[in-house]
A and B are shown apart, each in its own frame.
Chain A
């Protein structure tokens, strides 16, 4: 029931069911819709406290009704993700909408999060259903298999799914300190089985210029 209208607008067909979306991202709808703000991202009281504590803030609304609702945010490109019981890890700022049946939560990412400029925590989406994620420019989906691990620039990472281990790699050496850095000193290495979403643009990161 999620579909793309062009590449920057998400259209969701609703038949009395509900969808969770980023607060204020509705651009148009036809039919009858009711919008309700969900406190603390809709994770319940415990999730709300966790989000407050971790800084992985996400303001979501619940849209319920009959008809078609259109979502968009700052002309970002949108990718659709289908989940079949697995977990999607996505930065809260890159999550546009999820099925109401999907559970959202917060998880610790370690050093990787600190380097990608998004804090030490990330948002998880799990269950069965669809989610829509946003990127600056069309996202590229890269498959990781045990034979083919993947290295990603922290500033271009937006999301991943599947059973992946991530390692934070730092190539800082004496040349970096001498101003002879490679510009790619910080990388996230993904190993295992899954998909990684990268965007063709780099956020400003702590390690970006090193």
Chain B
């Protein structure tokens, strides 16, 4: 670490002192804290991410009857309803999450999909929907949202393969898919190796692949935010993650002597 400031006494507080006048409006206070200004407006907020506020702000659960119209236009994820609250009133509030870095992003008539644990807050001009990819949320529309990441967010352009743990989200990319290294997939030996780890695994045989036009957001560590249990999507045929057997071939009855998933895994 370079120490250019050595010898210069820095007796003042590193970040200065803030009051309602000097706090930024809808901007970062420091790398870990974001300030939202409410002027009679509303913001959606993930539960427990508010650390302090000035002014008159009310926090109410999503199920609050008064919000019915707001929810109808901006919140389409019943599974996550218990994790979100609506902040309304006037004043300035500070958001932070486990000392992770927070950043705001602007969407202009766009769409962005993000890991559900990383999204802290968004403006109701955006609509929140559950992504088809389990554990991810999609924001559609125009407005600002705040996201947390472990380390700064890196923006990448597809075509690109990323490590699953480093993926924060993606914008405008229509094709997130799994990618397995080919040699690792084929044959009985490949299957055995992946099941037992015998024969050596690098831990990087599986990636997410993105192609097409858009932007992929990565965090610079592989530390994940703990995933919150959000329940399951409706049990319907054709819904990934839903239905019996987690969307697998549940309709084919397994015959005696067949190995089922294991058999398919080994390509028999």
Number of A-B contacts (CB under 8 A): 139
Pair A151/B52 contact, Cβ less than 8 Å: yes
Residues of chain A within 8 A (CB-CB) of B144 are none
Pair B19/A156 contact, Cβ less than 8 Å: no
Pair B13/A2 contact, Cβ less than 8 Å: no
Instruction: Output the nearest chain A residue to B16 by Cβ-Cβ distance.
Output: A141
Stretch at the interface among A4-12, A22-30, A58-66: A4-12
Taking the nearest CB of chain A, how far is it from the CB of B75, in angstroms?
14
Contact A199:B99 (CB < 8 A) given known A3-B9, A140-B29, A183-B59: yes
Cβ contact of A175, chosen from B31, B54, B64, cutoff 8 A: B64
B6 within 8 A of A: yes
Pair B48/A200 contact, Cβ less than 8 Å: no
Residues of chain B within 8 A (CB-CB) of A153 are 48, 50-52
| B:4-33 near A, CB below 8 Å | 6, 8-20, 29-33
Pair B18/A141 contact, Cβ less than 8 Å: yes
User: Please, how many residues of chain A have a CB less than 8 angstroms from a CB on the other chain?
Assistant: 46
Residues of chain A within 8 A (CB-CB) of B99 are 136-137, 199-201
Residues of chain A within 8 A (CB-CB) of B17 are 141-143, 195
User: Please, how many residues of chain B have a CB less than 8 angstroms from a CB on the other chain?
Assistant: 44
Instruction: Output the nearest chain B residue to A175 by Cβ-Cβ distance.
Output: B61
Interchain CA distance A179-B55 in the complex, whole Å: 27
B217 within 8 A of A: no
Taking the nearest CB of chain B, how far is it from the CB of A152, in angstroms?
4
| Per-residue contact bits, chain A 195-210, to B (CB 8 Å; 1 contact, 0 not) | 1101111100000110
Taking the nearest CB of chain B, how far is it from the CB of A189, in angstroms?
10
B73 within 8 A of A: no
Interchain CA distance A200-B85 in the complex, whole Å: 19
| Per-residue contact bits, chain A 131-167, to B (CB 8 Å; 1 contact, 0 not) | 0000011111111010011111101100000000000
A184 within 8 A of B: yes
- Known contacts A138-B31, A141-B15; 14 additional CB pairs below 8 A are A80-B11, A138-B14, A141-B16, A142-B18, A143-B17, A150-B52, A151-B52, A175-B60, A180-B63, A200-B97, A201-B32, A201-B97, A201-B99, A202-B96
Query: Which residues from chain B sit less than 8 Å from chain A, CB to CB?
Result: 1, 3, 6, 8-20, 29-33, 47-48, 50-55, 57, 59-64, 82, 85, 94, 96-99, 102
Which 8 A-B residue pairings sit nearest by Cβ, starting from the closest? A183-B47, A137-B99, A200-B96, A200-B32, A156-B51, A182-B59, A180-B61, A137-B32
Query: Which residues from chain A sit less than 8 Å from chain B, CB to CB?
Result: 1-7, 79-82, 130, 136-143, 145, 148-153, 155-156, 171, 175, 179-184, 195-196, 198-202, 208-209
User: Can you list 14 contacts pairing A with B, beta carbon distance less than 8 Å?
Assistant: A4-B10, A81-B13, A138-B15, A139-B15, A140-B29, A140-B94, A142-B18, A143-B18, A148-B54, A152-B52, A183-B85, A184-B50, A184-B85, A200-B96
